[in-house]
Structure 1
Amino acid sequence: MHELSAIWHPTQADFDLFAQVSGDDNPIHVDPEFSAKSAFGRTVSHGMLIYSKLWGLICAAHPGARSLSQTMMFPNPCFTGEDIRLEVRGALPGTARMRAVRVKDGAEVFVGKAEVA
C-alpha cells in the first residue's frame, strides 16, 4: 500500500500557465474580472490541473507509470491562495485512489481514481 501526499499552494500563474499548455482558456480560470461576477467570486482551477498535480505525485514515486484509465469528480472549487492537500493511496501498479482537499476547511476539490500500470 502506497501513501503519497503533498501540499500545493495554487496561484493564478499556475492557472494561466495550464491554460496556455492545455488550450483551455475559459475565463472562469484565467479572467479575475469575469470570475468576480460568477457564482464562485474568483477564478477556479482547471480540474485537469488538479489531476496533473496528483498524477505528478505518482510519477515522482514510480517513474514510467502509465495511466490506463481514470475517473474523477470535482465536488468543490479550488481557488488560488488556498493550500490544497494532495493525497494518493493504493497499490501501485493497480488502483490509485486520489483526493485533493482544501486544508482550511477540509472540502474535497477532487475525488477520483486511476488504474496505473
Structure 2
Amino acid sequence: MIDLLERWVPTQAEFDAFTEVSGDDNAIHVDPDFCATTAFGRTVSHGMLIYSNLWGMLKRYDPKIAQGSQSMMFPNPAFAGAALSLRIVEERARYLQMRVTREADGAECLIGEAEIAC
C-alpha cells in the first residue's frame, strides 16, 4: 500500500525553469507584471510542473515504478511561494489517487489518478 505525503513550496525560478524545458511560456506562468493585472494577482504554476513533482515523489519511493495512464484536473491555481501538500494514496491495486492542496486554504490544485503499469 502506497501512502506518500510531501510539502513543496514552488518558486518562480522553478516556473521559469519549467518554461524552458516545456516551451510553455504563457505569461500567466512567467510574467509577474502581467499577472498582477489578472484575477490571480500573481504567477501560477504549470499544471504539469505540479504533476512532475508528484511523479518525482513516487519515483523516490520506488525507482522502478512505471505509469500506464493518468487523468488529472487542476481546479485551483498554485502560486509561487505558497506551500502545497502533495499526496499519493493507493486506494486499490495499481491505481493511485493524487491530490495537491494549498496549505493556506485547503484548495485543491490537482486532483487525479494514475494507473501503474505491470
TM-score by length of 1: 0.95
Matched, 1:68 2:68: yes
Output the CA distance in 2 between the equivalents of 1:76 and 1:91: 23
Which secondary structure state, in structure 1, belongs to the residue aligned with residue 42 of structure 2?
coil
What runs of 5+ residues in structure 2 fail to find an aligned partner?
Answer: none
Question: How far 1:91 sits from its partner (Å)?
Answer: 5.9
Output the CA distance in 1 between the equivalents of 2:96 and 2:47: 17
Matched, 1:22 2:33: no
Matched with 1:94 is 94
Which secondary structure state, in structure 1, belongs to the residue aligned with residue 38 of structure 2?
coil
Question: How far 1:84 sits from its partner (Å)?
Answer: 0.2
Matched with 1:57 is 57
4+ aligned runs moved over 4 Å, structure 1: none
Query: How big is each residue's C-alpha offset from its partner over 1:6-51, in whole Å with a ceiling of 9 and x where there is no partner?
Result: 0001110010000001111111000101111112111000000000
- Asked whether the 8 Å contact 2:91–2:97 carries over to 1, the reply is no
Which secondary structure state, in structure 2, belongs to the residue aligned with residue 114 of structure 1?
strand
Q: Residue type matched to 1:106 in 2?
A: G
Aligned-pair identity (%): 54
Output the CA distance in 1 between the equivalents of 2:22 and 2:93: 27
Q: Residue type matched to 2:38 in 1?
A: S
Matched with 1:9 is 9
Across the aligned residues of Structure 1 and Structure 2, the Cα RMSD in angstroms comes to 1.3
Q: How many residues align?
A: 117
Question: How far 1:93 sits from its partner (Å)?
Answer: 6.6
